Amino acid sequence: MQPAGLDPIECGESAAAFAAIGVKRMIVTRLDISRRLGGILAAAEQGMSFAGVSVSPFVAQGVGTLNPVSLARLVLRDPVGAANLTQDSAAE
């Protein structure tokens, strides 16, 4: 599990270490409160895929999915798109 909003270099190093032992996917949390998303992009650059994302403080109620369109909406700060991450993947 990788929280959003961390330092990009640290996230990249952490992802590289996990990738070295065979981990291929990550769950990203705290997307609802993070203003900086460079860390999760740095982790993805190390070969990690998104297994799920959390855009609410209620991680225990499940995680949503992320596709290229919903990732772009998060990066561009589209509040409607960010709130409907799980609906994006079903519609496309």
Q: Domain extents for the chain?
A: 2-91
- Give pTM, 2 decimals: 0.70
Q: CA–CA separation, 86 vs 70, rounded Å?
A: 9
Output the pLDDT for position 57: 76
Q: Are 54 and 78 in contact, with CB atoms under 8 Å apart?
A: no
Q: CA–CA separation, 54 vs 46, rounded Å?
A: 21
Tell me the average pLDDT across 71-86: 65
Output the pLDDT for position 2: 66
Q: Are 28 and 3 in contact, with CB atoms under 8 Å apart?
A: yes
pLDDT per residue over 43-66, tens digit each? 989 988 888 888 777 777 778 888
Cα of 83 vs its chain's centroid, Å: 14
